[in-house]
Structure 1
Amino acid sequence: MGVRTRIAAVAALALAGSVLVAGQADAHNNQSSLKPVATKLNGPRGVSTFGNKVIYSVSSGAVYATDGHKTWKLGTVPGANGFAPAIDTSRRGVTYALTGAGGEPGQPPVPGSSTLYRLRYGKSPVKIADIAAYQKKDPDPYDLEKNPTDSNPFGVAALNDGTVLVSDAAGNDLLRVWPNGHIKTVARLKPRVVAVPPGLPAKGPDGSPIPPAGTLVPSEAVATSVTVGSDGYWYVGELRGFPATPGKSQIWRIKPGSYNAICDPTKPNRGNCKRYADGYTSIVDLAGGPRGTLSVVELAKKSWVQFELTGKPQIGALYLQFQGRHHQATFRKELVRGQLTMPGGTAFNRWGQLFVSAPVFGTGAVYRVKY
């Protein structure tokens, strides 16, 4: 999938309000609020926690930690290319940073892009794995854009055994990376047939015609996010490729230890990858919280394509997705409705406090969400 323009790093990874599904209720909480934790940040995105510390990344590739009294830099990774890396921190306090694709089509990639790093305070970051190099040998069998070896690693989650999960938004898959750089494919996300939404122009940016509204077309998954739930399962969220139809982003629940699992929207309840939730729009981050709760970030409630078409920042969303009996998604509620512009990252701490960053472009902040 195309990933070389600025917004391609976030939303038009595919170029190619949420809609609920049956059996899932939407509850609103008008009493939630935002409390700034770190402000005047340039393009904040990744968020993680360790003890009483909140860790976050910015567009320069720098990663910082704050305890509410002081702030210090954990390190800076190369290859950020003006878009903050994804980050996660293990239970042992090791922070990982993941850079996405960098560079223009037909040009060499930006050095250090599409790479997983381990940060060391006061020292240079350690390169663990070149994700793009792995994807060159692991083509996407369900690719729709005639570029099956494309890569744009976008989400990261640290596991307790020292391995790291990476979701690749261009490869449409979930990878597991070992400390020595070894990589295996955990799961592949298949495309989904969606209806072209109303309001799109007759032609795309490349001049190709766009089918009329209502036309059914295949659309890539765009695996932007990954987290570990309190049940130990691995959860992956989708952005949804062009035409970015609202309400068609899914969350998948993957059995730990799986390899080469298939996440299939036509058979969503089979195998080691099962659909956990549906009806979201342009998911860009997930975080596992207490008692089966997931925090879900939507970049734009009207879908990322509206940002592409208008160039105007879009209102995003932050949800709590609750888990019911038998590990099934039950209902969700939106927090701080209308208060987040193009949010990028979210995390819980050990006490269940919730954090979010916004916006991914321009001056922003990391907030604690009171709910």
Structure 2
Amino acid sequence: MAKHPWRWLTVLVAAATVVGAAGPALAAPRSPGAPAPRIDVIATGLDNPRGLTLGPGGLILVTEAGRAGVGPCVPGPEGADFCLSATGAVTAIQHGRQWRIATGLPSLGTRNASEVLGPHDVALTSAGALVTLGLGTDPARRASLGTAGALTGTVVRLTRYGPRRFADLAAFEAANNPDQGQPGTGPDSNPYGLAPAPGGGVVATDAGGNDLLRIDRKGHISTLAVFPVRPTPGPGGAVIPMHFVPTTVVRGPDGAWYVGQLTGFPFPVGGAKVWRVVPGHAPTVYADGFTNIIDIAFDRRGRLIVLEITKNGLLSGNPAGALIRVERNGARTELASAGLITPTSVAVGADGSFYVSNKGTLAGVGEVLRIRTSS
């Protein structure tokens, strides 16, 4: 079974298009007397917005995975062709303005735009602004994309002269394939989440490789953790290997790394977990019972914030996501769901506001939201 999950978003993209035209998704029931969050749209017109990060002076950076391409193309793991374009971008938002600070980044999309991989996350580090660029297939196929696709499967540094390769995660996967030996695995790289690391460099998730990687300030890559493939009942009851698909990483208040799990097919409702990683030790489960985690963060009080791309499961056809807070004692509060349509990233502001990439599987109508709650 392929690691790459995005083909299963096809039905959600269609549903999100309908919901986006008709109005926000219906809210899940809230506790009696609980005030609804205030949600403001602070950026619009984005192409498949994905990861976002907060910078100084109210600056927000958000990656745009781009649009469907015309080629050359590579076969995806479920048989669909992913075709190259130069429509990936990074947008800046500040003081009510938005503008693209980087354009022409490589993007891979199906011809009907049901799935798009491209710039997935951005981190501000001592090495500069770093961006993951997706690939979503066997790294051996990258060569067929030619020079225009040479940066797919990498982390790049944004410079005034354009993107420059910082670390080649696809090449690392091809040479090492850290999850080899697990059921249903094979070389597959899809760089996704990024988090700045102490001492310089970053930590990255490879959603295709099922691993967590450390990249030092010179771009050297090493493996921090490899995540398990789990036997899981699939449609019809047959047990299949469910891949981990790590989408997000953040450094916790205790200095450990926390990794959010999307899960691969069959994307079981309640089957996603947040894992705690201490270098040199096996990963452990920190919190479970979530559905299709796309991003995580910690708030000012050290509470875990979880963003589900869809609260009802990737195969449900319902694009409503959910923003959830986990207290230190494990109690959970759904902070927002109404208006969250395939959300893809969350960051916590200094004032406690949440910034969310929304409509993250749609081109031309993607948004960034500011969400303010009463607690």
Whether contact under 8 Å (1:3, 1:9) holds in the other structure is no
Q: Does 1:316 align with 2:321?
A: yes
Change (3 A) 1:180 1:27: farther
Q: Does 1:344 align with 2:341?
A: no
Which residue identity lines up with residue 154 of structure 1 in the other structure?
Y
> Matched residue of 1:323: which SS?
coil
Q: Which runs of 5+ in 1 are unaligned?
A: 13-25, 197-209, 263-272, 308-312, 325-329
Structure 2 residue aligned with 1:17 = none
Whether contact under 8 Å (2:247, 2:260) holds in the other structure is yes
For residues 91 and 236 of structure 2, what CA distance do their matches in structure 1 show? Answer: 45
Q: Does 1:57 align with 2:57?
A: no
Structure 1 residue aligned with 2:95 = 68
Structure 2 residue aligned with 1:298 = 308
> Matched residue of 1:46: which SS?
strand
For residues 151 and 236 of structure 1, what CA distance do their matches in structure 2 show? Answer: 17
For residues 358 and 223 of structure 1, what CA distance do their matches in structure 2 show? Answer: 20
Structure 2 residue aligned with 1:266 = none
Whether contact under 8 Å (1:76, 1:125) holds in the other structure is no
Change (3 A) 1:69 1:245: closer
Q: Say how many residue pairs are matched.
A: 318
Q: Does 1:154 align with 2:221?
A: no
Structure 2 residue aligned with 1:240 = 263
For residues 104 and 191 of structure 1, what CA distance do their matches in structure 2 show? Answer: 18
Identity level (%): 30
Runs of 4+ in 1 over 4 A off after TM superposition: 3-6, 8-12, 26-30, 102-107
Which residue identity lines up with residue 249 of structure 2 in the other structure?
V
Alignment of 1:1-371 (within 5 A): 2=2, 7=7, 30-51=35-56, 52-58=58-64, 59=66, 60-76=87-103, 78-81=105-108, 82-90=116-124, 94-101=128-135, 107=141, 108=144, 110-120=149-159, 122-139=160-177, 140-147=179-186, 149-196=187-234, 210-212=235-237, 216-255=239-278, 258-259=279-280, 261-262=281-282, 273-307=283-317, 314-324=319-329, 330-362=330-362, 363-371=365-373
For residues 228 and 133 of structure 1, what CA distance do their matches in structure 2 show? Answer: 25
Whether contact under 8 Å (2:138, 2:189) holds in the other structure is no
Change (3 A) 1:350 1:123: farther
Change (3 A) 1:75 1:11: farther
Change (3 A) 1:30 1:248: farther
Whether contact under 8 Å (2:47, 2:366) holds in the other structure is yes
Which residue identity lines up with residue 357 of structure 1 in the other structure?
S
> Matched residue of 1:306: which SS?
coil
Whether contact under 8 Å (1:102, 1:113) holds in the other structure is no
Provide Cα deviations, 1:219-266, integer angstroms capped at 9, x if missing partner: 2211111111233221001111222111010101112xx14x43xxxx
Change (3 A) 1:98 1:282: same
Q: Whose strand proportion is higher, 1 or 2?
A: 2
Which residue identity lines up with residue 294 of structure 2 in the other structure?
V
What is the TM-score when the length of structure 2 is the normalising length?
0.76
Whether contact under 8 Å (1:4, 1:101) holds in the other structure is no
C-alpha displacement of 1:104:
9.3
For residues 79 and 352 of structure 1, what CA distance do their matches in structure 2 show? Answer: 34
For residues 306 and 144 of structure 1, what CA distance do their matches in structure 2 show? Answer: 26
Q: Which runs of 5+ in 2 are unaligned?
A: 13-28, 67-86, 109-115
For residues 333 and 86 of structure 1, what CA distance do their matches in structure 2 show? Answer: 27
C-alpha displacement of 1:366:
0.2
Provide Cα deviations, 1:340-359, integer angstroms capped at 9, x if missing partner: 11111111233432110111
For residues 68 and 358 of structure 1, what CA distance do their matches in structure 2 show? Answer: 19
> Matched residue of 1:227: which SS?
strand
For residues 204 and 126 of structure 2, what CA distance do their matches in structure 1 show? Answer: 19
Provide Cα deviations, 1:132-172, integer angstroms capped at 9, x if missing partner: 1001122213533241x211112111123211111111111
> Matched residue of 2:371: which SS?
strand
For residues 38 and 341 of structure 2, what CA distance do their matches in structure 1 show? Answer: 14
CA root-mean-square deviation: 2.9
For residues 188 and 42 of structure 1, what CA distance do their matches in structure 2 show? Answer: 31
> Matched residue of 2:319: which SS?
coil
> Matched residue of 2:327: which SS?
strand
For residues 365 and 191 of structure 1, what CA distance do their matches in structure 2 show? Answer: 34
For residues 8 and 104 of structure 1, what CA distance do their matches in structure 2 show? Answer: 18
For residues 294 and 210 of structure 2, what CA distance do their matches in structure 1 show? Answer: 13
